[in-house]
Amino acid sequence: MNIVLQTNASPKNALTKELTDIRTVSAVLKDETTVTDPVFVLGGLLPGEVADINYATVATLHRSYFVTGVRSIRNNVWEISCHVDVLSTYAEGIKAQTAVIHRQENAWNLYLDDGIFKTYQNPHIVTKLFPNGFTTQSFILAVAGGAQNITP
């Protein structure tokens, strides 16, 4: 099977990866391996080419992989261990999903990029005694805005 060996410049949790192809090689899937964590044996790569590999795409398995280890078996024959990148493997399906997003004024999410920026200012509370006191009813004075000095 053919493997596209690549360099990934994106964070692991990015849905779309920034990949640079290094080389496409023919490889053999090692015995007793899994699709989730495959080990490939491949040849024809020089040590300088292997040093930059941290990602691989295998069209035959319909998967993208993080390269977790590279081991030299003999001259220019390498064993490459991988672990599946679930986000990139299923990126098209994830992008095709629809969702309903509802904004709540009091419970907003900083990680939701909706183009609206929320700000919060710690409330400034001043308690004043009223010289005449209260009779039979209670009153609450609430002031909003930029007033600096509030006097009763």
DSSP 142: -
The token pair that represents 94 in the structure block: 């994830």
Domain that holds residue 48: 2-95
Is 112 domain-assigned? no
pLDDT, tens digit (0-9, with 9 covering 90-100), for 119-130:
656 666 666 666
Is 143 domain-assigned? no
CA 90 to mean position of chain CA atoms: 14
CATH of the domain at 44: 2.40.10
Is 27 domain-assigned? yes
Measured distance CA(67)–CA(22) in Å, rounded = 13
Is 23 domain-assigned? yes
The number of folded domains in the chain is 1
Is 120 domain-assigned? no
The structure's pTM equals 0.62
Is 83 domain-assigned? yes
Confidence of residue 106 (pLDDT cuts 50, 70, 90): low
Measured distance CA(6)–CA(16) in Å, rounded = 14
Is 114 domain-assigned? no
What mean pLDDT do residues 116-141 have?
64
